[in-house]
Amino acid sequence: MVFLSQCFKEKDRIINLLKESYFMKNEFVLIIDFGSQVTQLIARRLRELKVYCEIHPFNKVHDEFLKKFNPKAIILSGGPASVLNDRAPKPPSNIYDLEVPILGICYGQQIMMQMLGGSVVSGSGTSEFGKSYVKLNNKSKNIKLLEGLFLKEGKEEVWMSHGDHVATIPKDFEVYGVSENAPFAIIGNQKKHFYGVQFHPEVFHTLNGKVLIKNFLKLSNFSFNWSMQSYLQQSVEEIKMRVGNKKVICALSGGVDSSVTAILINKAIGNQLTCIYVNNGLMRKNESEEVLKLYRDHYKLNLIEANEKKLFLSNLKGIKDPEKKRKTIGKLFIQVFEKHALEIGDVSFLAQGTLYPDVIESVSFSGGPSVTIKSHHNVGGLPKKMNLDLIEPLRELFKDEVRLLGKELGIPKDFLDRHPFPGPGLAIRCPGEITDEKLNILRNADTIYIQQIKKHGLYNKIWQAFAVILPVKTVGVMGDTRTYDYVCALRAVTSLDGMTADYYPFTHEFLSETATAIINNVKGINRVTYDITSKPPGTIEWE
Ligand code: XMP
């Protein structure tokens, strides 16, 4: 009985805490997604404004959902469909009865108009793509949504991407702004606070888009105080409640995402979490030692180190094909991870560091499969195979927000700011056959290269930098002796998200100093080259 009453007390405590959360405090913006390429950016702008929001696909938003989440404002995203289509995606019609401000963007504006009695047309002269200008008309005076905008000659530079446009608006709406091919570029019903814009205020190229979004949020009196600290507290409580007294496992790779995931879950449930670090022998110099020290000594994580260097290297012996390497490494990883997870026994959850962009990209509106360029190494196959539920505490965050969360958790800045490192590790930076000798040469060259970059204060200006050992030996002369050694290629790129990239423009002085440092200090390399390929046509990694 005592135990039961304790359970109830704990449940009450958690419910009270959740009541404090953003949904209950009604500080939540619901973004209904119709599949635009830039929906994520709406969420980004809102978070920058310190307002909590979530994106949900249109077909998952129903009455129950709206009751539960109780949004304080709603944004309807853009999307690739045409509202003129019979099966055009729609939000539930009762969003218009919730008495909360609604902002429709592009497709969102068009579907709102169609549902409320306006109309949309398609044809010549209805489309605009790229830069455009919206001009105000005389109805726009004193409209709160437009405060601080249109100060320069009454026009704003915006970014458009539409084929159809709104042709008529319901009686209770007014038009405030027009562009060349959108006679209803900004419309609204001031009483209800329903607004629609044909352009995309969420993208960087709409110069004052963020001002418009902030004005929209001000209509609902948001307190603009969402912070990573509140996210952290909320996540800890949610994890506690979901896991109860069950066990969780997590694959730690040494990267930022899996580290933040594990440290956050550890904060919530302590030793009920077991982390498995698979040492595949493909890590950089001293990397395993350093990350394990952080996990064990600083965070006291319950950690299993699976030292499987021999297993990985023996299975990779003789393999030259990049895809075969990746598949071999992925398969072995799952095998090793599964073995240790089974030893722990009675595990219910697998923790993964899935980020927001991964979640959003997986909502496919086009339905078409994309071409596989490289088989990425991840733990995606595991939960199904092992019958585990997933815990993904980062699935609402962007990469830089994960770093902020890491900071809240006290993870050192140097660790959080590290360049990305791929799952298959040095294997894909060693074209041709992988040998212990080549891996060691590569580790030494990479260490010197990164030291040079740090010494010159360039590390944080570069998105990713690394050395590659080429499967070619060339003749050189050092002292008075002939050498016949490997070639090392250096790669450094700038990028936003790894999807596209450009090479970093080092100075000649930097390159020659670095080449000399590598050749003088790394036995086995007598020639250094710098890779000046962008992505596309290249990829960032060499394999
Ligand atoms: P690519 O070479 O495809 O790389 O231009 C883009 C980014 O992804 C990283 N990368 C991987 N990350 N598992 C990972 O976790 C992988 O299998 C993998 N392959 C490439 C790469 O380092 C770059 O940051």
pLDDT for position 9: 56
* Domain match, 211 and 335 both: no
Q: Are residues 209 and 234 in the same domain?
A: no
Type of residue numbered 177: G
- Quote the pLDDT of residue 364: 43
Q: Where are the beta strands (DSSP E) in 318-370?
A: 347-351
The type of residue at 140 is: S
503, 406: one domain:
no
Q: Mean pLDDT throughout 417-439?
A: 96
Q: 513: CA distance to ligand 1 center in Å?
A: 28
Tell me the one-letter amino acid at 462: I
Q: Measure 375 CA to ligand 1 centroid, in angstroms.
A: 9
What's the pLDDT score for residue 362?
47
CB of 353 shorter than 6 A to ligand 1: no
Residue bearing tokens 């944080």: 460
Residue 535 falls inside a structural domain: no
Between the alpha carbon of residue 208 and those of residues 189, 199, 212, 214, 519, the distances in Å are 22, 12, 7, 10, 51
Shared domain check, 53 and 179: yes
Residues 6 or more apart whose Cβ sits within 8 Å of residue 284: 421, 425, 426, 443, 446, 447
> Using alpha carbons only, what angle is made at residue 25 by residues 19 and 30, rounded to the nearest 5 degrees?
110
Structure tokens at 391: 């815990």
- One domain for residues 197 and 232: no
Token output for 165: 């446009």
Token duo for residue 353: 């560091």
Residue 110, domain CATH? 3.40.50.880
Q: What is the pLDDT of residue 360?
A: 57
What is the reported pLDDT for 26?
66
Asked whether residue 44 falls in the same domain as residue 124, the answer is yes
Say yes or no: 210 and 188 in one domain: yes
Residue type, 411: I
| Mean pLDDT score across all residues of the chain | 90
Distance (Å) from CA 372 to ligand 1 centroid: 13
Predicted local distance difference test score (pLDDT) of residue 368: 39
Residue 11 lies in a domain: no
Cβ of 112: how many Cβ atoms within 10 Å? Answer: 30
Which amino acid residue places its CA nearest to atom 7 of ligand 1?
A: 498
Residue 422 Cα to ligand 1 middle (Å): 5
CA–centroid distance, residue 444 to ligand 1 (Å): 21
Residue 538 included in any domain = no
Indicate if the alpha-carbon torsion angle 289, 295, 297, 302 is positive or negative: negative
Per-residue confidence (pLDDT) for residue 355, from 0 to 100: 86
Tell me whether residue 508 is exposed, middle or buried, using C-beta atoms within 10 angstroms of its C-beta: 0 to 12, 13 to 18, 19 or more.
exposed
The predicted-structure confidence for 488-527, as pLDDT tens digits, reads as follows 999 999 987 787 789 999 999 999 999 999 999 999 999 9
Q: Is residue 44 part of a domain?
A: yes
Confidence band, pLDDT 50/70/90 cuts, at residue 2: very low
262-309 residue pLDDT tens: 999 999 999 999 999 999 999 999 999 999 999 999 999 999 999 999
Q: How confident is residue 476, by pLDDT bands cut at 50, 70 and 90?
A: very high
Radius of gyration of the chain (CA): 27
| Distant-in-sequence contacts of 14-20, Cβ < 8 A, 24+ apart | 14/237, 14/240, 14/241, 17/233, 17/237, 18/237, 18/238, 18/241
pLDDT of residue 498: 81
Q: What is the pTM of this model?
A: 0.76
If asked whether residues 43 and 118 sit together in one domain, one would say yes
User: Are residues 255 and 404 located together in one domain of the fold?
Assistant: yes
| 101 in contact with ligand 1, CB cutoff 6 A | no
495 in contact with ligand 1, CB cutoff 6 A: no
> Which of 160, 192, 218 is where one domain is finished?
218
Ligand 1 binding pocket mutation candidate from 278, 375, 540, 542 (most atoms within 8 A of CB): 540
pLDDT at 386: 75
Structure-token pair, residue 74? 């709603």
Q: Residues of 338-367 as b/e, b for ≥16 C-beta within 10 angstroms?
A: eebbeeeeebbbbbbbbbbebbbeeeebee
User: What residue's CA is closest to ligand 1, atom 9?
Assistant: 422
Residues classed as catalytic: 106, 200, 202
Closest ligand 1 atom to residue 428 Cα is 19
Instruction: Indicate whether 5 belongs to any domain.
Output: no
DSSP 8-state symbol, 429: G
Beta-carbon contacts of residue 19 (< 8 Å; ≥ 6 apart)? none
- pLDDT for residue 1: 45
Same domain (yes/no): 95, 158 = yes
Higher pLDDT, 22 or 116: 116
Task: Specify whether the CB–CB gap between 29 and 74 falls below 8 A.
Answer: yes
Residue partners of 532: CB distance under 8 A and separation at least 6 = 503
Domain assignment present for residue 425? The answer is no
Please state, in angstroms and rounded to a whole number, the distance separating the CA atoms of residues 73 and 27: 9
Residue 396 falls within a domain, yes or no?
Answer: yes
Report how far apart, in Å, the C-alpha atoms of 438 and of each of 283, 313, 317, 472 are: 13, 12, 12, 11
| Residues 233 and 213 placed together within one structural domain of the fold | no
* Other residues' Cβ atoms within 10 Å of the Cβ of residue 192: 15
Per residue in 212-243, pLDDT (tens digit) is 999 999 999 999 998 899 889 989 999 999 99
How far is the C-alpha of 451 from the C-alpha of 465, rounded, in Å?
Answer: 11
Tally of domains within the chain: 3
Please provide the DSSP assignment of 273-297 as one string: EEEEEEE-S-S-TTHHHHHHHIIII
Domain final position from 366, 389, 416: 416
Nearest CA to ligand 1 atom 22: 422
User: In terms of residue numbers, what domain contains 93?
Assistant: 25-218
Q: Are 70 and 45 in contact (CB under 8 A)?
A: no
* CB-ligand 1 contact for 424 (6 Å cutoff): yes
